[in-house]
Amino acid sequence: MKIIVIISILLLLGLLIYNKHKPHILFALVGIFYFLIGYIDYKEYFIGFTNSALITLVLLMVASIAIEKTSFIDYCSKKIFSKSYKLSILKLGLISCFFSAFLNNTAVVASLMGVIKQNKFHSASKLLMPLSFFALAGGTLTLIGTSTNMVVNSFVIENKLESLKMFDFFIVGLGICIAITVVLMFFSFLLPDYKNDFDEIKDYIINTKVVSGSSLINKSVKENKLKQLQYLFLVEIKRKNRIISPVSNDEIILEDDELIFSGDIQYISILSNFNGLKLCENVELNKLNLVEVVISNQSSLIGKSVKEVSFRAKFDAAIICYKRANESIKKIGECVICAGDSLILSVGSDFASRDNKGKNFHIISKMYNPKFNTKQSFIILSSFVSVILLNVFNCIDIVKGLLLLLMFYIGAKYINIDEIRRRIPLDIIIIIGSSLAITRVLISSGVAADFANLIVNTFGVFGNYGALVGVYLMTLLLTELITNNAAAALSFPIAYSSALSLGLSPYPFIFIVAYAASASFMTPFGYQTNLMVSSAGNYKFMDFVKIGWIASIAYSLVVLIVTPMVFKF
């Protein structure tokens, strides 16, 4: 049994690192495998899906639909920026950490990205990465600040321990927020200073096609004055299966040629001066209605090519430009969609009413981001805060409180059933439910104890604190390689077994796992908000590494010093 469990866990870890399959599918397959071969029974497998922490997480994510539509974040965001960069960073940190403590991190980042890109004082690349880091730090302040904390709490409850409280995370989390703020203020020179996309959107690729009857046909590039455009540059010509690049002035334009331009999309209308030149998806250049979006990590489009998802029919929108990190995609139709990709869409009149856009996109443009008025926003926020406070003072169970709150939001028409259906976090539900079953197998088979003994024997020479550091480093490595929730799911049984083998309180080890699983600063892939800002800020991979390692060290020092002081062995 032990050999099969070890092989299956190593295979799961390898596939998670390979990142070609969705984590919730992999966790589900391993859980089902254990069920089918008899390592767990029917009740043990499915009881994880009724875990109270999981139910709380789902209710919170659904209730947050209404909170995200309040005008409070927009109001606060207008007060952030000034000529002083460090003051702007400080205010950005205060606002984003506060909201991230109680709201979904991706929603906070999505709400502030547009404001950052439109600010007139500082380039977006100097602010978007800090925004993601602040959202990550703010999530460590409370139990509901990030799904990772709720995932860890689900394991706590499953192992018959006392559930974690709302503000158990606060003291260490506050230290984290302060540390990240200091790093970003004093090491901001390591952040790239790319041209602000709002002022000048460079290096976008624009695909056009020469249609029948065009005045460009049978004339050279020079005669058509295609290389005399001030803001756009003719990069290449696609002719059937042939690519012409670089393009000479003497090249003759033929019917059905695809002309690929690079440059500032704000001046795309210049191309309308050329008769018979249309965007590749047959969009009339003089009827452009542009919206910028980022692909959500919950999108059903991920892993599929633009062509196979029938993008235009699905969303009543044509992709004008497609960016991944700092790279512009030339062959849009063949591109396989990834979370965090940045798209500029030319949208039709039906785009606003499509009910599938909310799950697939974070809309950076404010065009389709309606907000509640001040009175409605106050009612929504005050009712949410009331439920949280009633739970903190043990006046109401959090699940019952959130159910009542959700019924109120639906009754007041702040959210509707379609929105709830789209926002049910099916991937997180499957990961948590399946990982609880996997955890039982890891513990019952003795594999978790073996890994725990390895950590204790390796780091235990430094005492109990050494074992704690070992668990932290293991989880930190995993969260940089795989998703934060998956890292927490794999690390928890090992951390729990380590505490038991040493005869210590499990809580320092439990909190170490929670904090370490959220400590993803050095890559754009380790955390969903890093992915979101990656394309929008034109960041390269090394941009994250340059400042991310300093943020990671500062974060780790706070966690490793303060956690054992707050949660005694």
pLDDT-derived band at 305 (thresholds 50, 70, 90) equals confident
**Res. 356: pLDDT tops 90:** no
Find the length of the chain: 569
SS3 string of 346-384? EECCCHHHCCCHHHHEEECCCCCCCCCCHHHHHHHHHHH
* Angle, alpha carbons 7-12-16 (nearest 5°): 150
The number of angstroms, rounded, from the C-alpha of 440 to the middle of its chain's C-alpha atoms is 29
pLDDT-derived band at 284 (thresholds 50, 70, 90) equals low
pLDDT-derived band at 118 (thresholds 50, 70, 90) equals confident
* pLDDT tens string 68-111: 778 777 777 677 888 899 999 999 999 999 989 988 787 788 77
| Prediction pTM value | 0.74
100 neighbors 145 (Cβ within 8 angstroms): yes
137 neighbors 519 (Cβ within 8 angstroms): no
pLDDT-derived band at 200 (thresholds 50, 70, 90) equals very low
198 or 295, higher pLDDT:
295
**Res. 369: pLDDT tops 60:** no
Nearest CA to 117 among 107, 109, 127? Answer: 127
* pLDDT tens string 7-43: 999 998 888 877 777 888 999 999 999 999 999 888 8
* Phi, psi dihedrals of residue 277, rounded to the nearest 5°: -110, 115
Nearest CA to 18 among 546, 481, 541, 404? Answer: 481
**Res. 204: pLDDT tops 80:** no
In the prediction, which pLDDT does 197 show?
41
**Res. 366: pLDDT tops 70:** no
pLDDT-derived band at 370 (thresholds 50, 70, 90) equals low
500 neighbors 492 (Cβ within 8 angstroms): no
109 neighbors 532 (Cβ within 8 angstroms): yes
Q: What is the mean pLDDT of the chain?
A: 85
**Res. 546: pLDDT tops 80:** yes
What domains can you pick out in the chain, each with its CATH number?
204-286 (3.30.70.1450), 291-363 (3.30.70.1450)
The number of angstroms, rounded, from the C-alpha of 326 to the middle of its chain's C-alpha atoms is 17
**Res. 494: pLDDT tops 80:** yes
In the prediction, which pLDDT does 367 show?
46
pLDDT average, residue stretch 327-349? 79
Nearest CA to 553 among 90, 182, 169? Answer: 182
Nearest CA to 207 among 333, 364, 365, 341? Answer: 333
pLDDT-derived band at 550 (thresholds 50, 70, 90) equals very high
**Res. 199: pLDDT tops 50:** no
Nearest CA to 24 among 337, 422, 358, 432? Answer: 432
In the prediction, which pLDDT does 68 show?
75
Return d(Cα 427, Cα 433) in angstroms, integer. Answer: 10
330 or 66, higher pLDDT:
66
Residues of the chain above pLDDT 90, percent: 31
Strands 232-239, 242-244: parallel, antiparallel or unpaired by DSSP?
antiparallel
Least confident window among 49-53, 120-124, 151-155, 281-285: 281-285
Strands 327-328, 317-324: parallel, antiparallel or unpaired by DSSP?
antiparallel
Return d(Cα 209, Cα 417) in angstroms, integer. Answer: 42
pLDDT-derived band at 196 (thresholds 50, 70, 90) equals very low
By three-state DSSP, how is residue 502 classified? helix
Per residue in 298-314, is it b (16+ CB within 10 Å) or e — as a string?
bbebbeeebeebebbee
* pLDDT tens string 127-176: 999 999 999 999 999 998 888 999 899 999 988 899 899 999 999 999 99
